[in-house]
Structure 1
């Protein structure tokens, strides 16, 4: 795309126009996907609870998310008199913006990536760790005890599970030999038995795929790890004092992060845009469809868990992160690195 515009505008202007178009091609469909994924979430919960879910606004209730968006857009933004006004308003913007920034390095297919950087995985890790700042600022700036408790919980929860996620990513990088997300996907081609794509089918990496899936739910605050929004003890957590579009931005950021974690599960362990089997006819289906299909599958799994698994206590949440996932992921680094030294590089 850059080469096309450079022919007419020169390289600098052509690069700028091509980059802006690339950003819009990712951001606009992503925001539409977030609206529809909220609808899908509610329909999955309803089906599992033997209810109908949204079924009035638009055909099959498909426009319900847009009606909800219009409703919050028309509502008044209420700022508590004792709140820190600047930080109170900027917190949801940070949460939403950070959720979009991470998609810059996500490869949707061969060559279909906005920024194909060699340290894409490190970029994802850095950006995802910034999301906690929006929640902490929201909780502190509200000047209310329930949002503040939620902010402290969010900080402890996200830091705890980022540690195990980081160790899981180390095992993937060791096996793939690169931090580039496209390179990690290519390393999974014909990985098992010479024809099965995906690290998850590797007995040494499958436990890490399970740890990463559970940790990604904790990182995004999904049930059963939604301790930051626990209505039974925190009213609504960091969102308690928010209304109108500031509240909606938290929702958009949350679901944007959920979709990002679903995409990372697909990229790191399940072959990304590759079909499940390295068989020529399956490559006739464009890779972006395989990738989106895997994202939807992992989103269904997360919705299924949310509809069926009760919320953890906070001590259970911390114990799972520090006493179970951390030792397992740390041990697995030694296991994987030792195996690779013996088989790939020699003793």
Structure 2
């Protein structure tokens, strides 16, 4: 007598997924914070700026006075414009150590062509623009055609531009009284809510709006981010990487000339010794503003916040009586802290 075969056991089915599980964030609060900062890099510099304003306003009542706020905005204008140029380069995972020297070189060319060669102001400004474009093109060609590291290239052109500006100017300053009104126009002011706002600040704001639109709304802007995130992947998708890089350096060179024009208006003259710490402050503004030194992440508004933070810290520390040495020390600490935060944010799980 044969025994019947055992009935097959039903296969176990995996439990049905909970429809609500995808909406539950199981990460720790720290991980969630890191994710938010990764998506919105301008949050952290915004918080730092607000806290700094509140602290310095409490320590010295003169900090929030209209005259002092006007001074801060005028000081920020030059670094803010230079920061735009530096942001574009850093977004491509490069760096430009020559922006300050290129700015002073352009201002020297404008001053000496207007005062020494008696060029009309528009032609003098065009000569400055040509200088900035050539400086940017030189950096871009060395980076793209010779495949040299941006750090080494711009370190070398920093010395070249510095030598050229001293050669052209003979080490002499061109006073604003010898320059046409258009050359010093950026230093003029008008009142807004009791605060004197310079035309250089207005020019800076317009430039931020324009570059923010280009980076966020155009194919070229998306290509800049793609190149900075991964050059090889960008190349495989059909992006002409070298063309994008060259255009970035040339646009940065053109923006540097606007910074030079703003500097001439602020100083009411063209000096070869102007803005000796411009490179440090511009890079500081970009890094504090949340743009990653490794490229592909950041936005232009963060750079504006970073420039304001640098201006607020230098001004606030001066008002409470700290020496310039400690102001520079504070800026250095801010840079290290910003890079450390950037490294921490980059570890976020996508």
TM-score scaled to structure 1, two decimals?
0.27
Bigger radius of gyration among the two: 2
TM-score scaled to structure 2, two decimals?
0.27
